[in-house]
A and B are shown apart, each in its own frame.
Chain A
């Protein structure tokens, strides 16, 4: 009987079998494994059962360490358990992995293998995480494809139970976890047939129970530990054969055959590659291609890597092999070679010392690295490796896929070598995140997979920006299974869904001769040609492309779809690709629309249908003229005026050419220059704010809320306007003290994301027309050139003297230069205004320890960095350590800064005679509590350093190296709620208790935003989040109150939209407090399901409802005999529902489970009331101390 085929990604394939074979599932979000946990959680909420008819208990933990602990506990009581993780998460599980394996406990960890952060974080795939667990005693089983992730995932569960050895089942992050592929489904019956019930019972019987008590987990001494450790050996010896048998059982059930080491290639191969993971599929393509050409090459795919079976490995190698290349997708710096290489060498050495196999000649082994962090690995590279192996003295410890001009490890290869099957249709689609391209392509690939006989593969590439991000979809389909685990560089179909891309990059680079090119453009077939850049025109002519154009925006708009052109373009793709007859294709698209959107409402389905129906009427073929005629071309990514590093390195990354950068382009320690975001002009806003200088009251609120620092104000002398551009706007400053000066509010036209928060916050309305404010959105393209010039002129205007400004006033604070700009955060982000404000106040002397999360991604994801510098070259020093350790990381910075300052003071005292006693004393006793004080100290230190240049003693040189520490430094620990409330809470608590002078800024979005909105302990009651699909049942943790109980921590809760002056004041007080400060900042977020344009209004509602009371707890006040807690917002004045029911995270529960929503609302309203009452009591004046003026 033909087995059902489904088109899914590697994560879903794995989760399907893991869920069926598990009873307890402990989860924690980490890319790229998060979807496995999300699926398990949703299935559990939906009541889906495992093969025993029970519903697995799915529990989100506070960290992967916690997940491993919970899993360990469940296993010890005899449950069948699993978890899903990646990278750092897997590393946090290691201590428990030793325990689980040491206790011979059957369990499976499904790992979407991901790079472990070293010089930089990377969310992409390699084996560095898995390799770090080699010593734990877990078996390691590698799956190379989506099908294998499902098959070997199941084999892991069965083999673990039978062998008692726990398994890490892993597959490549993104390349496999996120690849959509047509696979044969494994059913619950299959799982039932694979899992041996006796082993399950035996596992249960080994569980802890007071009904047959024993202890496990003792402490042992030198006398016995060693022997007891060796007791496990028989189980590890037996494990490979058990896996082999389970694989055989699987073959009988499912028909697919796996071996511990699978060999493909010539039976008499002389050159053999040994490797594991998705790259082996590309290698297989190359091997099959070369063997057909008569080459004697082969490939060993390692499946069971641990326990490593010498016998099986040797058995898989052809006896004719002369050279073996062991390819590792990981780097072990300082080792002789990478792990797989060492295993192969050891295996051959052991064989040579009397092993079972005799080779024609002792094979030579070379080792190489490839594919780190999902770097492309192609058949061309495989061919390069085989070519190298054919040389008399092949390179070893080589790299392939990069250009290493430093250590010269890299192999050359011919990129034109291709194994692409001519029967396979290969499509590349360029889209914007917001236009729905990826979603439509996922849909298309499912349609092709499920409605045709074709095999299908979809893989999606995203850039590192959250707003206006470019997506590239790679779709393959054809009559045979597709093993091409690499991006398409020979496309038979190219679609560009955004006309603006044409001026930014070459979308036709990968188009094959004769390919089809589909372009969405606001021009018809007659006029489009003259709007194409030369490079594009040239390729259309030279490659004889079939060129089609459609105005999809128009079709989508008329269908009521706004900017989502996905279904329009999808329809065109089907029409042009011909994979299905048009009628069938349209019917299939409509079915999938119905399936995806039906439950959201008929109107949505109707609109999508209208877009589908309207599409083909506007699709036109464009006959290409004979010659290139355009007088413009693709724009360079950065201007010539950019600094050298930006021109040479950053620009390549921006242009999507980062793969071509050689090793020498990078610092060896992960250091990058600040102030590079300004060179990446993304021009993503359709509309930008335009200032009305006559209406403006110069309040500064728009500057304050701008998430991307694109609105700025300056007050300056009118003489600076002499050479101002004609359209540059200026007006009299409305300050009591600066009446004679000019004021300008400027907008960076090419950096704005068009979020409109500024317009919404503007308090001024025109008396003649209420919708006209002091700042208004207008179309960007006509303004771009003019405003670019104005912006540059504005930047050159002098900055205001910080000393004359009242930093606690929003009106004045707007004039402080921001040192955080143009980040890749979402348009309308609720977090970034707080960071920008912090840099305005303290940026020239702050160090930032940033927890992993949204703020570390928009803060530090290449190509560019938003942290910038002022004219003196001062600016925030920023670093990200990990997710869990941010508080500790920042505390370390504080300790270092304090230590350096102490040492510098010591040296100043010591060198006082040479430096001048008076100068030394001034430095040592400087009052740095005010801006002018700090400024003066900075001047003194500058003079000191000059003087030190003339001095010779060692102490002088030492002092020069630490002198900057004499200027007050501000240490900021920044992170989200996932960090502060969950994974980093233990460390945060410790740091708050330390008494050290650090400032903690918690950007509270109430979910794990960066990984896609999973519940944290900051998630409020009744809100739906991932891992809380039924609405969170418990109230939000009151982190502020917990911190206040120390009595020695400055604690405040702020919401910029609730009261911006309060926010500014809190930042200043927190920084001034000589001890730990904790600021919890309400950050509206895309994950709330709210129109971010109104983000600040929603913050206000949160405060008005009493959900988010504003307050400050200042221990200084207690020292003055006052109550340290001051509530800064009014008692609740609107019901909670007026606030929460503006957000989809709450209303979706109303739709999905009205009764639960009603209950949650009632309880949440009660939470608000009770907490307000408690705070009010706490903040009551000290007069109510017993015996003193109690009133009746």
Chain B
């Protein structure tokens, strides 16, 4: 058990290092939270997440749209061709009940709560005002520790303004908050003109945490068949920077907790998130790529790094590199952009072409 060269054993170090944090009013043993993915559809995976050191798990999202689509499809096919022809008034037996819609998801929440000690956070992606509220209530009733609102609305209608959309989100959050007792987090995307302002409005609407940022599926093109295909790309650590940037900016301005999601792969990523001011760091892509046990290594590395650098607790570092805590806040502001640009040899390219070159 004993360590060599003056170092404590790993266990010893962990004992000395306080990894705990709070998120959504929940006491977490560490800042590692598993973000939504198909992994959580299987209760055995959820168990393994806990065993590997996750402090909480956010289940995959319940998509209202999908529930509706499934219902429509079932209804359509059960109705199709019926009552048209005397010999075949129906084509499929109508079952007594269908274990469908939110039922399976709510059952998963129940089972997950029974299976693990760590908090189980449900995730909801609604489309209709009624749907959001209704499903949120059902999720609470099913025993979720908290609810993450996955507000992903693609504003394809040129007639809808950004202010309408933002107001809609804020109204939604306050309505859900009024109707729920469990804490509510809001997961949002990075594409808002005034992220800080919007974050404050969500905060005022009652959000208990903001989760920055959602990653969206982007359609890809199949050149051979001239088809548009949905593409899923796992995240990389470089995506973390955008999150760090905004968490740093928001830290200290909100009552709501902050969570980083997207690009968290290593202990370093977690540390950066904490120093930016996040309460927790969420990961999924790393687990999809390396397996759930990847969490064990991250947690150990985290503890190692902290011990090496003589941090005693997570809380100690939270926000330490945020906008308000750094000596030169300009690093986070627009000047920063100009400086980065000028550090490249600009040649004759403008900034746009610059971006293209950057990708090469």
User: How far apart are the CA atoms of A519 and B108 in the complex, in Å?
Assistant: 49
Chain A nearest CB, measured from B73 CB (Å)? 7
Q: What separation, in Å, do the CA atoms of A1026 and B92 have in the docked complex? A: 6
- Chain A contacts for B71, CB-based, 8 A: 600-604
A123 and B87 contacting across the interface, CB-CB below 8 Å: yes
Cβ–Cβ contact B86 & A123, under 8 A: yes
Contact call A1144/B72, Cβ cutoff below 8 A? no
Instruction: Name the CB-closest residue of A to B95.
Output: A1152
A-B contact count, CB below 8 Å?
146
B90 to chain A, nearest CB (A): 6
* In the complex, per-residue mask of A1038-1079: 1 if CB is within 8 Å of any chain B CB, else 0: 000000000000000000000000000000000000000000
C-alpha spacing A483/B100, complex, angstroms: 43
Select which of A462, A765, A1013, A1153 is within 8 A of B84 by beta carbon: A462
Shortest distance from the beta carbon of B331 to any chain A beta carbon, whole Å: 45
Contact between chains at B82 and A439 (CB < 8 Å): yes
How many angstroms between the C-alpha atoms of A1144 and B82 in the bound complex? 15
Would you call B98 and A433 a contact (CB within 8 A)? no
A601 and B101 form a contact (CB under 8 A): yes
Show 28 A/B contacts (Cβ-Cβ < 8 Å), sorted by A.
Answer: A31-B87, A32-B86, A432-B84, A433-B83, A436-B83, A437-B83, A438-B83, A460-B83, A462-B86, A466-B85, A469-B84, A597-B75, A599-B96, A602-B101, A604-B72, A765-B226, A1009-B88, A1009-B91, A1012-B89, A1024-B93, A1029-B95, A1087-B88, A1089-B77, A1144-B74, A1148-B74, A1148-B98, A1151-B95, A1152-B97
Given A604-B72, A770-B226, A1144-B74, the answer on whether A433 and B81 have CB atoms closer than 8 Å is: yes
Q: Which of the residues B80, B83, B95, B100 comes within 8 Å of A601, measured between beta carbons?
A: B100
Query: A1147–B88 contact, CB under 8 A?
Result: no
Residues of B within 8 Å of A1147, CB to CB, are: 74
Task: Answer whether residue B78 sits at the interface, using C-beta atoms and an 8 A cutoff.
Answer: yes
Contact: A1148 with B92, CB < 8 Å?
Answer: yes
Contact yes or no, A600 B93, CB < 8 A: no
* Cβ contact within 8 Å between A1152 and B99: yes
* B74 in contact with A1025 (CB, 8 Å): no
Q: Which single member of A1026, A1151, A1153 contacts B93 (CB below 8 Å)?
A: A1026
| C-alpha gap A1025/B98 in the complex (Å) | 15
B100: chain A residues within 8 A (beta carbon): 599-601, 1151
Measured in the bound complex, the distance between the Cα atoms of B89 and A1086 in whole Å is 12
How distant is B287 from chain A, measured CB to nearest CB, in Å?
23
Distance in Å: Cβ of B88 to nearest Cβ of chain A:
4
Contact B85 A469 (CB under 8 A): yes
Residue of chain B at shortest CB distance from A468: B84
- Besides A38-B93, A465-B85, A1090-B77, 14 more A-B contacts (Cβ < 8 Å) are A32-B86, A433-B83, A439-B82, A466-B84, A599-B97, A600-B100, A602-B101, A1012-B90, A1013-B92, A1026-B93, A1087-B88, A1151-B74, A1151-B99, A1152-B99
Give the complex CA separation of A1025 and B90 in angstroms.
Answer: 11
A1029 — which chain B residues lie within 8 A by C-beta? 93, 95
Alpha-carbon distance between A765 and B72 when the two chains are bound, in angstroms: 30
- Whether A471 contacts B84 in the complex (CB less than 8 A), given A603-B72, A1024-B93, comes out as yes
Instruction: For B316, list chain A residues within 8 Å (CB).
Output: none
A: residues with CB less than 8 A from B are 31-32, 35, 38, 41-42, 46, 123, 174, 178, 432-434, 436-439, 442, 460, 462, 464-466, 469, 471, 564, 597, 599-604, 606, 765, 770, 826, 857, 1009-1013, 1024-1026, 1029, 1086-1087, 1089-1090, 1144-1145, 1147-1148, 1151-1154
Q: Which residues of A contact B74 (CB under 8 A)?
A: 600-601, 1144, 1147-1148, 1151
A497 to B234, CA, bound (A): 52
Tell me if B9 counts as interface (CB < 8 A to partner A).
no
**Distance between A763 CB and nearest chain B CB, rounded to angstroms:** 9
Q: Which residues of B contact A601 (CB under 8 A)?
A: 67-68, 70-72, 74-75, 100-101
Interface flags, B88-117, vs A, CB<8A=1, else 0: 111111011111110010000000000000
Q: State which residues 254-299 of B face A: CB under 8 Å.
A: none
Question: What 1/0 mask marks residues of chain B from 240 to 251 whose CB sits below 8 Å from any chain A CB?
Answer: 000000000000
CB-defined contacts of A42 to chain B, threshold 8 Å:
93, 96
Partner of B227, one of A32, A434, A465, A770: A770
Say if the beta carbon of B167 comes within 8 Å of chain A. no
The interface residues of chain B lying within 8 Å CB-to-CB of A1154 are 99, 104
Distance of A1003 Cα from B72 Cα, bound (Å): 29
A599 CA to B101 CA, complexed, in Å? 10
Report the nearest B residue to A771, measured CB to CB: B226
CB <8 Å contact, A1087 and B86: no
Contact check, B86 vs A434: say whether CB atoms are below 8 A apart. no
Q: A601-B75, A1087-B91, A1089-B77 are in contact. Are A471 and B68 (CB under 8 A)?
A: no
State the CA gap A1029–B92 with chains docked (Å): 9
Give the A-binding residues of B (Cβ under 8 A).
67-68, 70-75, 77-93, 95-101, 104, 130, 134, 226-228
Closest residue of chain B to A174 (Cβ to Cβ) is B86
Residues of A within 8 A of B70 (CB): 601, 1151
Let me know if B78 and A600 touch, CB within 8 A: yes
Q: Which of B96, B134, B228 has the most CB of A within 10 A?
A: B96
Q: Could you tell me the distance in whole angstroms from the C-beta of A75 to the nearest C-beta in chain B?
A: 28
The answer to whether B98 touches A1152, judged by C-beta atoms less than 8 angstroms apart, is yes
B84's nearest neighbour on chain A, judged by CB, is A433
Closest to A466 in B: B85
Which residues of the other chain, B, contact A46 by a CB distance below 8 angstroms?
A: 96
Given A601-B74, A1010-B87, A1147-B74, A1086:B95 Cβ within 8 A: no
Query: Which residues of chain A are near B77, meaning CB under 8 Å?
Result: 1089-1090, 1144
Q: Given A1013-B92, A1024-B92, A1025-B93, does the pair A600, B98 have CB atoms closer than 8 Å? A: yes
A residues in contact with B99, CB < 8 Å: 1151-1154
Please indicate the chain B residues that have their CB under 8 angstroms from the CB of A1090 in the complex.
77
CA–CA, A1086 to B87, complex, Å? 14
CB-based nearest B residue for A1086:
B81
Q: Of all chain B residues, which has the CB nearest A1145?
A: B92
Q: How far is the CA of A1009 from the CA of B81 in the complex (A)?
A: 11
Known: A438-B83, A601-B71. Contact between A1148 and B95, CB under 8 A? yes
Q: How far is the CB of B126 from chain A (nearest CB, A)?
A: 12
Contact A1089 B80 (CB under 8 A): yes
Is B79 a contact partner of A564 (Cβ separation < 8 A)? Answer: yes
Q: Which residues of chain B have C-beta atoms less than 8 A from A1087's C-beta?
A: 88, 91-92
Is A1025 a contact partner of B92 (Cβ separation < 8 A)?
yes
For A1012, the chain B residues whose CB sits under 8 A away are 87-91
Give bound CA distance, A944 to B93, whole Å.
59
Q: Which residue, B81, B82, B134, B227, has most C-beta atoms of chain A within 10 A? A: B81
Bound-state Cα–Cα, A471 to B228, Å: 41
User: Which chain A residues border B92 with CB–CB below 8 Å?
Assistant: 1013, 1024-1026, 1087, 1089, 1144-1145, 1148
Separation of A442 and B97 alpha carbons in the complex (Å): 21
| Distance of B139 from chain A, by nearest CB (Å) | 15
Q: Across the interface, do A31 and B72 meet the contact criterion of CB distance under 8 Å?
A: no
Residue numbers in B under 8 Å from A606 (CB-CB): 130
Residue of B nearest to A769 (CB): B226
For B74, B97, B101, which residue has the most chain A Cβ atoms within 10 angstroms? B74
Contacts of A1148 in B (CB 8 A): 74, 78, 92, 95, 98
Residues of A within 8 A of B73 (CB): 1144
Chain B, Cβ-Cβ closest to A767: B226
Q: How far, in whole Å, are A1013 and B78 apart by their CA atoms in the complex?
A: 12
Q: Please, which residues of chain B bring their CB within 8 A of the CB of A1151?
A: 70, 74, 95, 98-100
> A1086 — which chain B residues lie within 8 A by C-beta?
80-81, 91
**CA gap between A1025 and B94 in the complex, in Å:** 10
Taking CB atoms, residues of chain A closer than 8 Å to B91 are: 1009, 1012-1013, 1086-1087, 1089
User: How far, in whole Å, are A597 and B76 apart by their CA atoms in the complex?
Assistant: 11
**Which residues of chain A are within 8 angstroms of B93 by Cβ–Cβ distance?**
38, 41-42, 1013, 1024-1026, 1029
Contact A1010 B88 (CB under 8 A): yes
Q: How far is the CA of A433 from the CA of B134 in the complex (A)?
A: 35
- B70, B75, B82, B130 pick with most chain A CB within 10 angstroms: B75
Query: How distant is the Cα of A1145 from the Cα of B91 in the complex, in angstroms?
Result: 10
